[in-house]
Each structure stands twice: as C-alpha cells, then as structure tokens.
Chain A
Amino acid sequence: DTGVSQNPRHKITKRGQNVTFRCDPISEHNRLYWYRQTLGQGPEFLTYFQNEAQLEKSRLLSDRFSAERPKGSFSTLEIQRTEQGDSAMYLCASSLAGQGTEAFFGQGTRLTVV
C-alpha cells in the first residue's frame, strides 16, 4: 500500500500522560501536514513540513504539542501532559510541494484521554 500510513489507529491514555503518533507519508511527497478533527467538525490545521523543515504552526498548537520530521520522511506528533480536550482524531496528510497540489490523508489516530 503506497498511501499515507498512521500509527497507532487508536490510543487511550490517562490525563497527564504523554503520547506520540507516527505518520508515514506517500514516499515521493515532500510535504506533510498534521490536522486535528473533532466530532462534527472539519479537519483543523496544526502544522506542516516541507522535507524536514517545519514551515508553519497553527496557534491551535500549544506548547504541549511538538512535531518532528527528522529525515524528511516519516513524522511524529507528540502531545505532552495530555488533557481531556486533546481527545480527537489526529490526521496526517501528504502532498507534493507547490500550490494547488492534491493532499492525501491517512486513516488517522483516534486519541481518547480519560
């Protein structure tokens, strides 16, 4: 399968714990995006990378959130000291660089903070 892959698919964690999600983009795509989606809403942009450089971060991304893409391939999104409000689906998407390019989404990681 050459689509965008995300792991794990589901994560249940206790409030205050740290969690890390992984995204493997489509291999030839140099752009990688993280979005968050809550029930009944559209995806909300969190951050994106072009190759290994993190080029933009949303104001939604608090200091507890950090994302990396160390070698310009896979990316990780870490949430420290999770809160119940962090419960959501975390979606990763990838695309080629440039305006007007299609972005393809992974299946997402559903996070539940209890």
Chain B
Amino acid sequence: QQPVQSPQAVILREGEDAVINCSSSKALYSVHWYRQKHGEAPVFLMILLKGGEQKGHEKISASFNEKKQQSSLYLTASQLSYSGTYFCGTELQTGANNLFFGTGTRLTVIP
C-alpha cells in the first residue's frame, strides 16, 4: 500500500526545475504532498483530489493521473528554501482516511 517515489534524491542549482513522482498500486482518492526539513515536522504543501480539485501551495504545482494512480510534483525556479525531503501521502478510495507515505525524495538546492 506504500506508494513509490522517484527519484530518491536530486540536487538542483537555484532557479532550476525538478519533478518528483509518486506512484501507487492501489486506486486513490487523493494525493497529499508534504515537505519535511531535517528535525522538523512535515509541512503540508498541497492535495490533489480525484476529479481534479487541488488545494494548496501557490508556487508549487502538481498533477494527479487517476487512471494511472500517479502524481507528480513540479518545482519550478527552485529556491534555497525548497530544500528538504518531499513525501507523497496517498489516500485510498476505500475510505480508510489515513495516509500511506512514500519513502521520500531528498531535494537539495545549492546556490
């Protein structure tokens, strides 16, 4: 039930773009994206719902392919503050309501 994220790690220079992918083998109701900095709590970024609704961050965009049970997070014109580990959390269609998290993608933005 745990989603698979790729890549595991990425290093960017400030201003570059990155894409983080999240894939599940189960039918999903929604995908939630979080960013976690070392020693801190995961911070909510955005949620993508079945049917196309999105809620969340102004400067970060994402997509959700319901047929493929895949989501991608797009980080454009990266800033130093974007560094951290990004997790996708998947909510199954079964209505279980808890999130299953991937193992994360470590993003490092360098000057």
Is residue A106 contacting chain B, with contact meaning CB distance below 8 A? yes
In the bound complex, do residue B42 and residue A100 qualify as a contact, i.e. CB atoms below 8 Å apart?
A: no
In the bound complex, do residue A105 and residue B42 qualify as a contact, i.e. CB atoms below 8 Å apart?
A: yes
**Secondary structure at chain A's binding surface: helix, strand, loop or mixed?**
loop
Contact with A along B45-59 (1 / 0, CB 8 A): 001011001011000
Given the known inter-chain contacts A45-B100, A102-B32, A102-B55, please indicate yes or no for A107 contacting B40, CB distance below 8 A. yes
Question: Which residues of B are found within 8 Å of A101, using beta-carbon distances?
Answer: 47
Inter-chain contact count A-B, CB under 8 Å? Answer: 66
In the bound complex, do residue B91 and residue A45 qualify as a contact, i.e. CB atoms below 8 Å apart?
A: no
A91 CA to B97 CA in the complex, in Å? 17
A100 CA to B55 CA in the complex, in Å? 10
Question: Which residues of B are found within 8 Å of A43, using beta-carbon distances?
Answer: 42, 87, 89, 99, 101
Given the known inter-chain contacts A43-B101, A91-B41, please indicate yes or no for A99 contacting B32, CB distance below 8 A. no
Is residue A21 contacting chain B, with contact meaning CB distance below 8 A? no
Question: Which residues of A are found within 8 Å of B43, using beta-carbon distances?
Answer: 105
A18 CA to B22 CA in the complex, in Å? 37
A19 CA to B101 CA in the complex, in Å? 26
How large, as a class, is the contact surface on chain A? 20 to 34
In the bound complex, do residue A99 and residue B103 qualify as a contact, i.e. CB atoms below 8 Å apart?
A: no
In the bound complex, do residue B98 and residue A105 qualify as a contact, i.e. CB atoms below 8 Å apart?
A: no
Question: Which residues of A are found within 8 Å of B2, using beta-carbon distances?
Answer: 42
Question: Which residues of B are found within 8 Å of A108, using beta-carbon distances?
Answer: 41
In the bound complex, do residue B104 and residue A99 qualify as a contact, i.e. CB atoms below 8 Å apart?
A: no
Contact with A along B16-43 (1 / 0, CB 8 A): 0000000000000110101000001111
Is residue B111 contacting chain A, with contact meaning CB distance below 8 A? no
- Closest chain-A Cβ to B88's Cβ sits at a distance in Å of 8
A35 CA to B22 CA in the complex, in Å? 20
Given the known inter-chain contacts A42-B104, A99-B30, please indicate yes or no for A104 contacting B99, CB distance below 8 A. no
Given the known inter-chain contacts A42-B87, A42-B104, A43-B87, please indicate yes or no for A102 contacting B98, CB distance below 8 A. no
In the bound complex, do residue B47 and residue A102 qualify as a contact, i.e. CB atoms below 8 Å apart?
A: yes
A residues in contact (CB < 8 Å) with B: 4, 31, 33, 35, 40-45, 48, 55-56, 58, 91, 99-108
